[in-house]
Amino acid sequence: PARIRTVHLRRFKEEGRRFAMLTAYDAQIASIFDEAGVEVLLVGDSASNVMMGRSTTLPITVEEMLVFSRSVVNGAERALVVADVPFGSYEASAQQAVETGVRFMKEAEVHAVKVEGDASMAGHVRAMVSAGIPVMAHVGFTPQSEHALGGYRVQGRGDAAARVLADARAMQEAGAFCVLMEMVPSDVAAEVEAALDVPTIGIGAGPATTGQVLVWQDMMGMTPGRLPRFVKRYADLRGTVAAAAAAYAEDVRSGAFPAEEHGF
């Protein structure tokens, strides 16, 4: 199947077609989502939480992200693969942003990177784009700024709506091929989607965006505990995996596994 490219996402918007993005962090899951027809795979820095057991995305390193990114690229034939540039690896200067983006393109061979930030990051994004690095911008609630923003909260309520729109416009202007909005009121996200030429992707941003994204472990029931309200659960993999692990352990203890046919 022909590779999905950034130009196709733009075309989807023009044609009024929606597309799906899911996170992925390893080759097997990437190949499953790829074969299922998911158009975009995001190697999110949410790997810090869901893969590495940390409580925020902030500590994940470029080296760690490169391993996850390489793995997803290896597993995906058709999907566009986008990797998050982690906290601390791009903010200091446009040069640092280009150098980090180049590492992702060169060492992991991802097709694009995602950059969190408001309009103040537009210069960095512009430099990355002119270096040949396709950039997806991430505005609204940006988890890398959790401590600066005062926790997990909806962005763009009331007067702040204009700021989300201004940030999105600045990112499009800087050359971003797509703008992702996280935890933004649905009406504000609809306004941004209508105002931009490039497609937008939402997570907790309502139904108007061209694309939607979720963390796969959240939507497939791997993540324990309470989930954000924007998650819809499509499977109970934690239950399935736990039951299989318990059945295996019980079989080992009772001697039911391995049986005759499992031996040589």
Which residues are the active-site residues?
A: 182
Q: How far is CA 237 from CA 49, 51, 156, 222, 247, in A?
A: 18, 15, 34, 5, 15
Give, as ranges, the residues between 9 and 48 that touch Na ion (CB under 5 A).
Answer: 44-45
Residue 73 beta carbon to ligand KIV: minimum distance, rounded to whole angstroms: 17
Q: Dihedral sign, CA of 108, 109, 110, 115?
A: positive
Q: How far apart are the first and last CA of the chain?
A: 40
What token pair was written down for 165? 């729109």
Q: Residue 116 annotated as binding?
A: yes
Among 39, 84, 182, 193, binds Na ion (CB under 5 A): 84
Strand residues in the chain grouped as ranges (E) = 19-23, 40-43, 80-84, 112-116, 135-140, 178-182, 200-203, 211-214
Residue 249 beta carbon to ligand KIV: minimum distance, rounded to whole angstroms: 32
Q: Is 182 in the site for Na ion (CB under 5 A)?
A: no
Q: Residue 77 annotated as binding?
A: no
35 or 146: CB nearest Na ion: 146
Distance CA 203, CA 185 (A): 10
Q: Is 140 in the site for Na ion (CB under 5 A)?
A: no
Q: Residue 107 annotated as binding?
A: no
Contact set with ligand KIV (CB under 6 A):
23, 42, 44-46, 84, 180, 182, 203, 213, 215
Side chain identity at residue 197, one-letter code? D
Residue 42 beta carbon to Na ion: minimum distance, rounded to whole angstroms: 8
Q: From the annotation, which residues make up the binding site for 3-methyl-2-oxobutanoate?
A: 45-46, 84, 114
